Amino acid sequence: MSAAIDWAKLDVGYDWTTSEVYRPTRLEVDDASTLPGAVYSDPDFHDLEKQRVWHSSWVCVAEQSDVLTPGTMFASDVAGTPIVLTRDSSGALRGFQGETATVGSLEELPEVPSSHVGCALGLVFVNLNGEAPPLREWLGDLVPWLEDYEKALTSGQLIATHRTSYDIAANWKLLIENFLEYYHLPAVHPALCNVSGVDEHQRFQGRGMYMGFATHPLTKGGTAIDPGRLPPFPAIKAHRHETAYHLCIFPNVFFSLYPEAFFRVRLTQQSPTRTVEYATLQTHAAAMEAPDASAILQEVFEFWDNVNTEDILICENVQLGTSSPAYTRGRFSFRFEETIHRFQNMVIDKMLVDEPTRFRVPVGDDDTTFLELTARSKDEIKAPKESTVAAAQRARANADA
Ligand SMILES: [Fe+2]
């Protein structure tokens, strides 16, 4: 049994390089406390995080649709280090460190080694210092499991119909953590609940540097994103037609993969208390050819833009709350915040550079996947598990009895 935590000592002046400060978050989720509120605003944490978390991770720097045509240049960055992406005449994707505006030619910039640039699920990733495990390992079972989607998401087949950005007065981790829990849906996004109901949410989590959960089945609620308004991505399995997969790939990209079109958000950290998000609405050629496609996609975009703006407003308020000296740490909500516990432990793994956990890729669940990772057809899917809400209510009733 580990020694008791001396809270009075722990939450006074933080040394972010020691394991002690993270010990309450390292506990099993039922006993754990969250990271201290200071991680959302402390400049010292932010400076360490840039090097230890962002530079040594596979950071999403673009949508593949941003750099599709040979000769295109796309400016991005990894935690303040500017990157230029380009596709050369042979079709190869290349990354350079620096800004083209300040240098005459791209060739004068140092090139990011090709092994530190990778693509998957329609996204471009860069691992700046080359220390991270290979991208395939980083993503774990996500790509094999989304194999049918992966074909549809491969460069050239994914069509970006709308792009926008958001300048946000909140730490990047709050935006990720907000995406990772869904009990705020009824209070913050009542319209979204008509399609992706809280009771229809289910946990699924495989191995990989990602957090996942799902909504099954999707329901029709008279909204812009009702299932069936556009044809689904070609060649995806039948059971995907009524399921949304909510995925966050560590550290900086999240999206809800809906069968017809989806809104994807890439985060860039600008300062401890400022984040810029780049969002893209993605669909495919067959959807573009459907009757009224452009009007429907405009409505879908406006729906997600509204949901994301609602999320940003609550995150900016939470930013103020976590900055209060009265707030130190919180607890994790049973079943609803296992995703946040997983995310915060990935941050800790990276912050503790001398620990053997630095580059571990966490395992997934043995038994809480409602759609089996290996299921390839509807017949192979076992009976749906009880929803997360039902499981939490049952556990509560048992505890009260
Ligand atoms: Fe939300």
Query: pLDDT per residue over 258-307, tens digit each?
Result: 999 999 999 999 999 999 999 999 999 999 999 999 999 999 999 999 99
What's the average model confidence in pLDDT over 111-120?
A: 95
Contact 184, 196 (CB under 8 A): no
CA of 310 to the centre of ligand 1 (A): 7
0.85 cut: is pTM over it? yes
How would you classify residue 281: left for phi > 0, otherwise alpha for psi between -120 and 50, otherwise beta? beta
CA of 248 to the centre of ligand 1 (A): 13
CA of 339 to the centre of ligand 1 (A): 14
| Residue showing tokens 């992406």 | 85
- Among 196, 176, 217, smallest CA distance to 339 is for 176
State the CATH class of domain 1-55+162-401: alpha beta
CA of 341 to the centre of ligand 1 (A): 18
CA of 391 to the centre of ligand 1 (A): 22
pLDDT in tens, 215-259: 888 889 899 999 999 999 988 888 888 889 999 999 999 999 999
CA of 60 to the centre of ligand 1 (A): 21
Cis peptide before 144 (omega within 30 of 0): no
Least confident of 95-99, 125-129, 135-139, 233-237: 233-237
CA of 15 to the centre of ligand 1 (A): 32
3-state helix, strand, coil in the chain (%, to 5): 35, 20, 45
pLDDT in tens, 61-95: 999 999 989 989 999 999 999 999 999 899 899 99
What's the average model confidence in pLDDT over 311-318?
A: 96
Strand residue runs (E) in 196-273: 201-203, 210-215, 244-249, 253-257, 262-271
Domain ranges, ordered by start, for the chain: 1-55+162-401
The rounded mean pLDDT for the chain is: 89
- The confidence score (pLDDT) of residue 370 equals 47
CA of 186 to the centre of ligand 1 (A): 9
Q: Identity (one letter) of the amino acid at 95?
A: G
CA 392 – CA 401 distance, rounded (Å): 14
